[in-house]
Amino acid sequence: MIGRRSFVCSLGLLPLVGCAPPPMPTPTPTGREPAGPLARAPLPLGRRLKIVCVGAHPDDPESGCGGTLARYVAAGHEVTLLYLTAGENGIPGAAGPDAAKTRTAESRAACAILGAKAAFVGQVNGNVEVTGASTAQFRKAFDAEKPDVVFTHWPMDNDVEHQAASILTLRAYLATPRASPLYYYEVQTGTQSLGFAPTSYVDISATREKKVEALRAHKSQGFEGIYERHHEKMEAFRGRELGVAAAEAFAALGPDARSGSLPGL
């Protein structure tokens, strides 16, 4: 399990949690630990869950955990992909508004394939900020979805906008107690995500083709080559770790992070 304080302190977020060693919990008459920032009531069994997956750019959520999101949809849960930007800087030679229009349409097509909803925070690709104003902007979009289960980028990443999406999600998650852990996903591990340490795995053998189909909807990104070079190999490697044909891996932060299982699956 990833220690909350050591992990968050590694992000430099001292004002949020402080970095002194955490005190040992004091037993209560019920035998439970006292409530804290990440102490949350368990999710009711059998309830339809609201799943929110945050990505810095169009295609990030699909590439990081598209197979898992497809499994959530198949299980009857509601899934939203929350894109921090519309990918304004993501098509060489295209003006920002034109690229945003193309990539927004691609995102909606990908979400339709997965059975999910596309939502956009409104920051601009190439000019993403982590400020008080952008935190409030993100929090408004995040809270509007009322998520039960949250996914976002692993923060140690060589793409600064992936870092920003991760930090903004963490801030919103800590500010609004949830019943579930926050799950970090990996993208192009070794070239983008760095030092990723999984705590949980999801078998995506049955939904892998759905994920690939969603990625193909991002035609402007040339995903055929990207998938073969990166994600297909990652899925196979995580599958070997789990003992299945293909899997996606996550690092959990928060309540029941040691369980290894994801709520609702």
Asked if residue 192 has pLDDT above 70, the reply is: yes
pLDDT tens string 148-170: 999 999 999 999 999 999 999 99
What pLDDT score was predicted for residue 105? Answer: 97
Q: β-pairing, 78-85 with 200-203?
A: unpaired
Residue-wise pLDDT tens digits, 13-70: 433 344 544 443 333 333 333 344 454 556 666 789 999 999 999 999 999 999 999 9
Nearest Cα to Cα of residue 100 among 220, 226, 222: 220
Task: Give pLDDT, residue 41.
Answer: 57
Average pLDDT over residues 195-200: 95
User: Which residue bears the tokens 């976002």?
Assistant: 152
pLDDT of 260: 81
Residue whose C-alpha is closest to residue 171's, from 25, 56, 17, 50: 17
Percent of the chain with pLDDT over 90: 73
Structural domains of the chain, with CATH: 48-259 (3.40.50.10320)
Give the pLDDT band (50/70/90) at residue 259. confident
Cα(113)–Cα(205) distance, rounded to whole angstroms?
Answer: 17
For 136, counting Cβ atoms within 10 Å of its Cβ (0-12 exposed, 13-18 middle, 19+ buried), the class is exposed
Please tell me which residue, 176 or 67, carries the higher pLDDT value. 67
Question: Average pLDDT over the chain, rounded to whole?
Answer: 86
The yes-or-no verdict on residue 223 having pLDDT over 90 is: no
pLDDT of residue 73: 98
Whether residue 200 contacts residue 249, with contact meaning beta carbons closer than 8 Å, is answered with yes
Cα dist from 70 to 67, 195, 218, whole Å: 5, 26, 17
Give 93 or 224, the one with higher predicted confidence: 93
In this prediction, residues 201-207 reach a mean pLDDT of 98
Q: Which tokens go with 234? A: 């990652």
Q: Give residue 115's pLDDT.
A: 98
